[in-house]
Structure 1
Amino acid sequence: MLLSIAEAECLVSETLRKNRVSPENAVAVARALVEAETVGQSGHGLRRVEAYSLQARVGKVDGFAVPCLEEPRPGVLKVDAGLGFAYPALELLLPKLEETARRQGIAVAAVSRSHHAGVLGLVVERLATAGLVALMVSNVPAAMAAWGGRRPMFGTNPIAFAAPLAGAEPIVIDMALSTVARGRLIKAAQKGEPIPADWALAPDGNPTTDPKIGLAGTMMPAGGAKGAALAMMVDLLAAGLTGANFGFEATPVIDDKGRPPGIGQTIIAIDPEATGGSAAHMARLAEELGREEGVRLPGRRGFNLRRQALENGIDVEEDVLAMIATL
């Protein structure tokens, strides 16, 4: 079914409100999930409504949490998400982070006792649109083994980066450190579809094409040992710096079992004018890349899909609508 952005946001927020989420938090979550759909990231979009709702019902995520922001030192921001959704915490944080980075030249934000943060690229894009260079990491519950091991230790631990370009949309790089994002396995499992054999390993360490077995096992790290090492780095930045749970300590964000995951996010924002750069200077690299046929700047696909969604709405699959109806 084709839904406008407003219709989709209303559907998601109403569903969340009926599942023990405050009106304010439901709106923030709905905005984030629908925006993920508009940029083609359906694994982080409306398919998350079921898990979010079930977790809110049982208190694995506190749907009524009110995030708390403090500035313990100049240029340092801390947000306690209160074991609630990440999106209200990020909405509270971003205006203050932008203002602090402009005043100080650089600012770091640490979010603790948090939840699934969705498409990190959308967060850094917002800062880059305001003229800042931004880097964001989030740890997530363990889904990848350390290189050479079999026990899940690190999450797929996404990294996102964005840089402003004078006269153009920003560069946005957003990647999970697994071969693919875990959301793609969730989507395949919901649709009953197989996955490629290089996406995940079964609990016994062998490749699998069954997404449910892959979700019970471990994800394949992107780039082998390099991807596993970067996943460790993100766990240290997102949990070690914030006091949040490490991936191996966190409960899954895809079911309603266990205690709250309590993971973390870290964002660094830099004013390029403070370091001798500028959006105009960074645009030179993009312009040079644009001279080569076949090169596509990171983030452009998402911008194009968003324009289409704003004009035409988003196409929500029937199984997703049916799932939401049950909630």
Structure 2
Amino acid sequence: MTGTLNVTLPEIESLATATLKVANVSEANAASVARSIAFAERDGQKIVGLSYLPYYCEHAACGKVDGNAVPVLTRPSAAAVTVDAATGFAHPAIDLGILPLTEAAKETGIAILTVGNSYACGSLGYFVEQLAERGLVAIMTANASPSIAPHGGRTPFFGTNPIAFAAPRASGAPLVIDQSSSVVAKVAVIEAHRRGEVLPVGWALDRDGNPTTSAEAAMDGSLTAIGGYKGVGLALMVDLLSAGLSGAHFSHEASSFGDCEGGPPRTGQCILAISPERLGIADFAARSESLLTALTHEPGTRVPGARRLTARQENAARIEVDRDIWMSLEAYAAGAQRAPA
């Protein structure tokens, strides 16, 4: 059976929660992860939405990630918040630190949250937007298992290592920029491989370091860094911020996000939150708005993240999802013996 279904945001969140609980994820952790999945579907980011849920379930079921982990928060200083994810999902660990980070930034002007012993966190934009909604400027990094070869090399060493930025604006939702250090996220190549699709030119390299459009060859090779050596430099910075400051595994030390081998990856995340108000910039949101207005003055230009906001508006009442994915998740949540492929 093919096609789509129209469902609501609460329905997506409910199904995702039920599916994760079957995979031995606690109620609290499942709810945290499910919320991010539902919001990804709402914003048209399906690559980290329901289609990614089977990977979460598989890894929770096999012990790659501890679905029952209880993250632990500490406050080493007034401007620093640290969370040990205890090899559990990144989402509940970050959720635990968001409010203390907000309070610290509004008190001191700038604060940092680091999360170690963690796992994949999906969309970074989902987290930084929450801080921008509270009047803060936020920058987030997260390292991942190896996917990008160093410049001039052939063997994956860095993860896709995404970075996100969010800032409040005077009207509408905050500005959110969310991108990986690679031309495309690894999960996009995995999905193409699963579907037997050809990759666009420029996405990946084969094991010999040559450009390839074969998803199979890309799975055995590496992703192309965005901007060549500049993207590799970005991946290095993300590794040092995410893992270096949290004590987590660097990308080359982390086990793969793509299978059940090697135990928990123990990667990390880092979020910086800045209060414009504490810096004496009371009109930051208004000035941001004027900048974005000027940016779009020329016909054909658009603000980064505009497509995400358009999708959010279109999906306000009902969200179109893949029928096969939805039905396979429903079957798994009802007691299937294995995570849906």
Q: Does the 8 Å contact 2:153/2:209 carry over to 1?
A: no
**How many angstroms does 1:25 deviate by?**
0.7
Match of 1:72 in 2: 76
Residue aligned with 2:88, SS: coil
Amino acid of the structure 1 residue aligned with 2:266: G
Q: Does 1:303 align with 2:275?
A: no
Alignment of 1:1-327 (within 5 A): 1-277=5-281, 278-319=284-325, 321-322=327-328, 325-326=331-332, 327=339
The worse-fitting range, judged by mean Cα deviation, of 185-194 and 246-255 is 185-194
Q: Which runs of 5+ in 2 are unaligned?
A: 333-338
Distance 1:169 1:313 in 2: 19
**How many angstroms does 1:319 deviate by?**
4.4
Q: Which runs of 5+ in 1 are unaligned?
A: none
Amino acid of the structure 1 residue aligned with 2:319: G
Q: Does the 8 Å contact 1:100/1:107 carry over to 2?
A: yes
Amino acid of the structure 2 residue aligned with 1:306: R
Between the two proteins, the alignment pairs up a number of residues equal to: 327
**How many angstroms does 1:74 deviate by?**
1.2
Distance 1:217 1:174 in 2: 25
1:93 and 1:181, CA in 2 relative to 1: closer, same or farther beyond 3 A?
same
Distance 2:116 2:51 in 1: 25
Distance 1:297 1:275 in 2: 26
Distance 1:120 1:225 in 2: 23
Q: Does the 8 Å contact 2:242/2:248 carry over to 1?
A: yes
**How many angstroms does 1:167 deviate by?**
2.5
**How many angstroms does 1:101 deviate by?**
0.7
1:171 and 1:318, CA in 2 relative to 1: closer, same or farther beyond 3 A?
same
Q: Does the 8 Å contact 1:5/1:314 carry over to 2?
A: no
Distance 1:192 1:31 in 2: 30
1:197 and 1:293, CA in 2 relative to 1: closer, same or farther beyond 3 A?
closer
The normalised TM-score by structure 2 is 0.92
Deviation per CA, 1:89-142: give whole Å up to 9, x if none: 111111111111111111001100010011101111111111100000000001
The normalised TM-score by structure 1 is 0.96
Deviation per CA, 1:254-285: give whole Å up to 9, x if none: 22222101000000000111223321222221
Amino acid of the structure 2 residue aligned with 1:295: T
